[in-house]
Amino acid sequence: MPDGPHGDLLAPLREHPDRAAILLDVDGTLAPITTRAADAAVPEATRAVVAAVVARYGLVACITGRRTEDARAMVGVDGLHYVGNHGTEILRHGADGPEVRPEIADWEPRVRELAEGLLAGTQDDGPAARDLRLEDKGPIQALHWRGADDEDASEAVAESIGARAEAEGLVLHRGRMVLELRPPVPFDKGAAVRWLLDGRPSGPALYAGDDRTDLDAFAGLRELRSAGALTHAVCVAAVDVGAPQEVSDGADVTVAGTDGVRAMLEGLLLP
């Protein structure tokens, strides 16, 4: 990307690094997608580049569907800010713990209880149900079926659980082989972008992501640019075999998966 036809998109960020914000998704962007989310890891080469970007740019942050403390442990680079659970909590560099939006925290026991109960009620329905994995993300409960023996059948069970959760007042959000059960409180990665950048001097910003949830971040970045809060905005799609087409369609530029993201970050370090 840096030396190709889209390299000029990075120029405004390189020209004003002290005022620039570099915002990065984690899974599928910094860390390759794995069958189990717990097995994902950020390559050492990527960590080194992220650390160099942190040293040069005014604000560098990860905006992720993971909980902030889990993302911090996974990325393992000092100096980053983290917005987790798609914008429900923020862990600023140097803080002892995350700030959680109180209206979302109030829903956590209800969402967890409902998700666990609905999943338990399917366990006699066969292997497709038993292959579903429930990830506890506090106020968000995520059903995963990547790696199931019959991924389509497990997805159908997840959708059935989701329909019942929706009837109980929860909100559904779909990703790459994951269905999230969420509180009925508005939040997304676009709100996360606005939360993180609120009050900063106007400057350029970049967001890189790979999944449908990152489209909200693209929209948030563009809204800030339209409002004059940003001078320049670049939306980058990390594209691999499983990446949704709409993410590529919604981006300003695409790169080839996590390797392409690392190359793009290296481009930010050019003179």
More confident: 44 or 243 = 44
d(CA 216, CA 114) in angstroms, rounded, equals 27
CATH code for 104-182?
Answer: 3.30.70.1020
Mean pLDDT value of segment 235-244: 91
Cα-only R_g, the chain: 19
Look at the pTM and tell me if it is higher than 0.85. Answer: no
Rounded Cα gap, residues 241 and 236, in angstroms = 16
Could you tell me the residue ranges of all domains in the chain? 7-101+187-268, 104-182
What are the DSSP calls for the chain, one per residue?
-TTSTTGGGGHHHHH-GGG-EEEE-SBTTTB---SSGGG----HHHHHHHHHHHHHSSEEEEE-SS-HHHHHHHH--TT-EEEETTTTEEE-TT-SS-EE-HHHHTTHHHHHHHHHHHHHTTTTS-HHHHT-EEEEETTEEEEE-TT-TTHHHHHHHHHHHHHHHHHTT-EEEEETTEEEEE-SS---HHHHHHHHHTTPPSEEEEEEE-STHHHHHHHHHHHHHHTTSEEEEEEEEEE-TT--HHHHHHSSEEEEHHHHHHHHHHHHT--
Q: What is the pLDDT of residue 55?
A: 98
Which range of 87-91, 186-190, 245-249 scores highest in mean pLDDT? It is 245-249
Residue 86 has pLDDT above 90, yes or no: no
Task: Say what percent of the chain tops pLDDT 70.
Answer: 97
CA trace torsion 44, 142, 65, 6 (10° rounding)? 80
What pLDDT does residue 2 have?
Answer: 47
So what's the architecture of 7-101+187-268 in CATH?
3-Layer(aba) Sandwich (3.40)
